[in-house]
Amino acid sequence: MPHYKLIYFNMRGRAEIIRYLFAYLDIQYEDHRISQDDWPAVKQTVPFGKIPILEVDGVPLHQSLAIGRFLAREAGLAGKTELEQCQVDAIIDTLDDFMSRFPWAEKKQDIKDQMFNELLTNDAPGLLQDLDLYLGKKDWFVGNSVTWADFYWDICSTTLLVLKQDLLDKHPKLVVLRKKVQSIPVIADWIKQRPETRM
Ligand SMILES: N[C@@H](CCC(=O)N[C@@H](CS)C(=O)NCC(=O)O)C(=O)O
C-alpha cells in the first residue's frame, strides 16, 4: 500500500472530496493540515503553489478534482460506463464552476460580503433548480448507485448551507440526497470524527 499524505489547510474546502474518497476506500492516509502562518513557506515547495496536494509515496499530485477522479476510479465511484463517467464529471464541473465563482480570498470584507450575497441570492436558485431537475426521480445524480458526484454535492452544499441556511428549503429532494450520502456508514463515521471547521 503506498504512503498517502494529503496537504491542505485545517478546512474541509477543496480537500474534503479527497477525504471522503479515502474514507470510502478505507485507506489510511496522513491528513496533514497546515496553518495559514506556515503556508508561505510550504507554497514554495509544492508544484504550482496551490493546495490540496496528495503525495503518493512522495510523488506530489495537484488539482483536487484530478486527485478525486483518480481515487474515485479506484473506488468504483467514477461512473459505471464511459457515458456515465462523463455525466459524473459534468455534475462535478457544474458544482465546481459555481463554487469557484466565490471570491474566497478577497481581503476587503464589504466587497466579499456583497459578492457572496449576490451569488447566494441571485445565482444559486437557478443552479439548484437545474440540479433538482437533473436528479429527477432518481436516487443518485448518475446511474443507479452512488458516485463521487453525490459526494461532491454533499460537500459543496454543506459549505453553501453555512453561508445561507435556507438555501435548500425549496429543494427537499436535494436534501434527501445529502442525507443519503451522509448516512453511508464510512462517510457518517468520517463526518463524526473529522475536525470541526466552518468551511
Ligand atoms: N483548482 C485547484 C485550486 C487550488 C487552489 O486554489 N487552492 C487554494 C486553497 S482552496 C490555495 O492554494 N490558496 C492559496 C494560494 O493560492 O496561495 C484545485 O481544485 O486544487
**What CATH number corresponds to the domain at position 86?**
1.20.1050.10
Here the cell at position 51 is 493546495
Number of folded domains that form the chain: 2
Q: What tens digit of pLDDT does each residue of 103-120 get?
A: 999 999 999 999 999 999
pLDDT in tens, 44-102: 999 999 999 999 999 999 999 999 999 999 999 999 999 999 999 999 999 999 999 99
In a domain, 199, yes or no: no
- Which residue in this structure is represented by grid cell 509515496? 57
64 Cβ closer than 6 Å to some ligand 1 atom = yes
| C-beta of residue 11 within 8 angstroms of C-beta of residue 39 | no
Q: Please indicate whether residue 159, judged by its CB atom, sits closer than 6 Å to ligand 1.
A: no
91 plus 173 within the same structural domain = yes
Report the separation in Å between the CA atom of 62 and the middle of ligand 1, taken as the mean of its atom positions.
Answer: 9
Question: Across all residues in the chain, what is the average pLDDT?
Answer: 98
pLDDT attached to residue 56 = 98
Which domain does 61 fall in, by range? Answer: 4-75+186-193
Residue 8 domain-assigned? yes
* Residue range 124-128: mean pLDDT, rounded: 98
Residues 14 and 104 in one domain: no
Residue 150 confidence (pLDDT)? 99
The ligand 1 atom at the shortest distance from the C-alpha of residue 9 is 9
Same domain, 86 and 178: yes
Query: Has residue 198 been placed in a domain?
Result: no
Residue 132's pLDDT band (boundaries 50, 70, 90)? Answer: very high
pLDDT level of residue 195 (50, 70, 90 thresholds): very high
Nearest ligand 1 atom to the CA of 63 is: 20
Residues 56 and 111 in one domain: no
Taking only the tens place, the pLDDT of each residue in 140-191 is 999 999 999 999 999 999 999 999 999 999 999 999 999 999 999 999 999 9
On whether both 87 and 26 belong to a single domain, the answer is no
* Residue 121 DSSP one-character state: I
Cell numbers describing residue 69 = 477522479
Per the structure block, which three cell numbers stand in for 3? Answer: 504512503
CATH number of the domain enclosing 59: 3.40.30.10
pLDDT of residue 110: 97
